[in-house]
Amino acid sequence: MKMNKFFLVAFAAMVMLSAVSFADDKMIPATQLPATAQTFIKSTFPKATITYAEKDGYIIPTYEVHLSNGTKVEFDRKGNWDKVDTHQGAVPAQLIPAAIAKHVKANYPGIQIVKIDKEPYGYEIELSNDMDMKFNKAGALIGMDD
């Protein structure tokens, strides 16, 4: 009986923490983004404007930005980019590690990288043909999903 009470209390605590975490997701003015994120957007997407910015997370904030060209960029708490999703256009070349760009160009000519996501093991990318690929930090292919 005590074990059931413990699990009930633990479950209730998790639900409350989740609610607090989601409650902190809020729209913010672009000026409240970390300076690093603002600089990244201006230099990487000079023709786009920020249409929506959101601060996520209660304890460790992250940021999500939507641009006028349809691109979505996610940033860590310091304003370093974590994920860039263009939805249709190519991810800017300067964001793609050379080994990954070389692999895609050699094996998928004419296909663009439309999303890049930093992961603990390296990078995950999505190609314009809807293929997903995983690369380690050295740029070696470690997995695929079409």
Query: Quick check: is 71 in a domain?
Result: yes
pLDDT in tens, 88-129: 899 999 999 999 999 999 999 999 999 999 999 999 999 999
Query: Quick check: is 3 in a domain?
Result: no
| Three-class SS state of 89 | coil
C-alpha–C-alpha distance, residues 85 and 91, integer Å: 7
CB of 114 closer than 8 Å to CB of 87 = yes
Query: Quick check: is 62 in a domain?
Result: yes
C-alpha–C-alpha distance, residues 51 and 54, integer Å: 10
Sign for the pseudo-dihedral over CA of 29, 33, 38, 44: negative
CB of 96 closer than 8 Å to CB of 135 = no
Q: Which residues contact 140 (CB under 8 A, 6 or more apart)?
A: 99
Query: Quick check: is 96 in a domain?
Result: yes
Q: Looking at the 3D structure of the chain, how many domains does it have?
A: 1
Query: Quick check: is 94 in a domain?
Result: yes
Query: Quick check: is 54 in a domain?
Result: yes
pLDDT band at residue 24, thresholds of 50, 70 and 90? low
Query: Quick check: is 132 in a domain?
Result: yes
Higher per-residue confidence, 145 vs 133:
133
Domain that holds residue 46: 27-145
- pTM for this predicted structure: 0.81
Query: Quick check: is 63 in a domain?
Result: yes
Query: pLDDT averaged over the chain?
Result: 88
What CATH number is given to the structural domain containing 121? 3.40.1420.30
pLDDT in tens, 60-74: 999 999 999 999 999
